Amino acid sequence: MDRICYKSVYYNSLTGVYSSALQTKLPIDYTLSYVIGRTTYPRIGRIFVFVDLSNAFDFYWPESEKYILKGIATNVGRPKFVSRSFNIDFLSRFWESKKKRKSTQSVSGYAPGGSFSCDSFTPLEVIVPLEFDER
């Protein structure tokens, strides 16, 4: 089922590219780029989104400017797996095991409040957040 969702992203003003909010922590293979009107599919796993705009506003990472994309997400659901590590070897082994339907080591990690995941995300517009006290 398709539904409107929000995606917190990092914006690189030098390249004009929106990318995964945690792109500074993730290995390049797991970083996704977003273009208005173009559908993005994950290379592996699913894409984290927020159904409620207020949860997207609350998601904060101090090393970047905050941008939120509003768009259409497909097959939205609660995340079943959240990695506790950003290590490329750990992530690769985990997803390879999931593809083979094998049991995996513990992956319990933290997902921001109000997080959902989806199969694809098509950004429709950029939302520039208001200051916290202006909401």
pLDDT in tens, 33-44: 999 999 999 887
Type of residue found at 94: F
Give a yes or no: residue 68 inside a domain.
Answer: yes
| CA pair distance 45, 110, nearest whole angstrom | 16
Q: Is residue 14 part of a domain?
A: yes
Sort 74 into a burial class: Cβ within 10 Å, 0-12 / 13-18 / 19+. Answer: middle
Count of structural domains, the chain? 1
Token code pair at residue 22: 């945690």
Is residue 105 a contact partner of residue 113, using CB atoms and an 8 Å limit? no
- So what's the pLDDT on residue 22? 64
CB atoms under 10 Å from CB of 116, counted, come to 21
Closest CA to 81 of 117, 43, 33: 117
Q: Which residue, 121, 109, 132, 95, is CA-closest to 5? A: 121
Does residue 9 fall inside a structural domain? yes
Torsion angle of the four alpha carbons 121, 31, 47, 44, in this order, in degrees rounded to the nearest 10: 110
Q: What is the pLDDT of residues 86-104, one digit of tens each?
A: 555 655 666 566 566 655 4
| Residue found by looking up tokens 């599919």 in the block | 41
User: Does residue 100 form part of some domain?
Assistant: yes
Amino acid 49: pLDDT: 93
Residue 46 within a domain: yes
Task: Look up the domain containing 106 and give its range.
Answer: 2-129
Is position 47 within any domain?
yes
Answer positive or negative: Cα dihedral of 56, 107, 18, 25.
positive
Summarised one tens digit per residue, pLDDT across range 10-61 is 887 788 888 886 655 566 666 789 999 999 998 877 898 999 998 888 775 5
Instruction: Flag whether 134 is in a domain.
Output: no
pTM for the complete prediction? 0.74
